[in-house]
Amino acid sequence: MVKPNERVLIAETMTDQTTAQFVHRPTYAEVDTSALRSNFDAIKAHVSGAKVMAVVKANGYGHGLFTVARELERRGVDSLGVAYIEEALELRAAGISSPILVFGGVLKDQLPLFINNDVDVTASSVSKIEQIDTAAKTLGKRARVHLKVDTGLERIGVHYYSSQTLFDAALNAPHCDVVGVYSHFAEVNPNDLFVAKEQLARFHDSTRYFQQRATRPFLRHIAASSGLLMLPESHLDMVRPGLSLYGVYPHPEMRERLKLSPALALKSQVVFFKVVKKDAGVSYGHLWRAPHDTRIITVPIGYGDGYLRSLSNKGAAIIRGKRHSVVGAVCMDQMMVNIGSDGEAYNGDEVVLIGSQNGASITVEELADSIQTTPHEILVALNQRIPRVVRR
């Protein structure tokens, strides 16, 4: 059963002309599950034998946590990755039975939530593995644990040069099952892989100690989207695709490595039209002034929905197959688009903010580049105020 707070509307078959009839507001995000399946299959084939942990944190990168998790579980995903225990508990409540790893740091008081709900916990220090073991013993259960080694990100995890202490503690934790050991790349630069290769070497050096002493198999994983695309030797036992799973590339140079399909389109409709006179300022602060008499339309989406205010004077919209510029400051709930002195638009016309229409397109990567951020931020900013329409 779909959770109300996801605001997902299922459309088994739907045309562009009928989409708006299924949503509560003119603005919505369209999620293409066939693209998700295609991307998952392409990644699975690309990593040739390695397991796949699909990263579904931050509401499935804006695509809908339950929608993505259900679709990939049906597709045979090996496990799921989230940031917080709350996300894992939501998945369990929705009936997701796949293994789930929580990447983030965990507090002692949260440990029973992991153990009682069969959620994998990240052990990032000796004291943490000891706390996990004690909690499991108290509950009369076993804990599933992934040991975290910091090879250069300096976020959480024991330093690679001190990792033996963590491994020894894990070997002496009788109520813990170590199912994985992992790290995370700080950088996978397609033009210079030195940093990534150095981290991978550190990871190999540190895990060798545990491999020689562990009494049961465990999974080594370090590669997220950039690593799995650019560094085949980093695939190891499992990969953790996030951005690539949704058909978005971390770097333009990675497009040549694997064909992926965007799984999300952001759409709205024209709700107002006016002619703005030359030199008139548009929106708060008059950050843009009309260079000549021009036609401006209003679109009901703003930074309150996650269309970032930093896209003011930088975003784009497609109307009737033509690209136009977002002008003036993006407001909390609305923004303005300049369709020019001879542009044509009517109330109710479809507005594409991410996606394609009649041969014109706007990509997540393009928007991210225009404001010097990552594609991740563009996607995860799209919040729950925007309904999701799921195409199957």
Q: What is d(CA 324, CA 273) in angstroms, rounded to the nearest whole number?
A: 14
Q: What is d(CA 126, CA 357) in angstroms, rounded to the nearest whole number?
A: 54
Write down the residue that tokens 């977002």 correspond to.
Answer: 326
Query: Residue 152: left (phi > 0), alpha (psi -120 to 50), or beta?
Result: left
What would the DSSP string read from start to end of 63-84? T-HHHHHHHHHHHT-SEEEESS
Which residues face 55 on adjacent strands?
81
Write down the residue that tokens 């708060």 correspond to.
Answer: 284
Active site residue 284: yes
Q: What is d(CA 150, CA 184) in angstroms, rounded to the nearest whole number?
A: 7
For residue 211, CA distances in Å to 124, 167, 168, 224, 257 come to: 18, 10, 12, 22, 31
Q: How many helices (H) and strands (E) does the chain have?
A: 12, 22
What would the DSSP string read from start to end of 342-391? T----TT-EEEEEEEETTEEE-HHHHHHHTT--HHHHHHH--TTS-EEEE
Active site residue 346: no
| Angle between helical axes of 194-213 and 163-171 (0-180°, round to 10) | 30
Q: Which of 3, 161, 259, 284 is catalytic?
A: 284
Under 8 Å between Cβ of 29 and 264: yes
Q: What is d(CA 185, CA 35) in angstroms, rounded to the nearest whole number?
A: 26
Q: Which of 57, 128, 148, 267 is catalytic?
A: 57
State the virtual CA torsion across 108, 113, 114, 116 in degrees, nearest 10: 130
Catalytic residue annotation: 57, 284
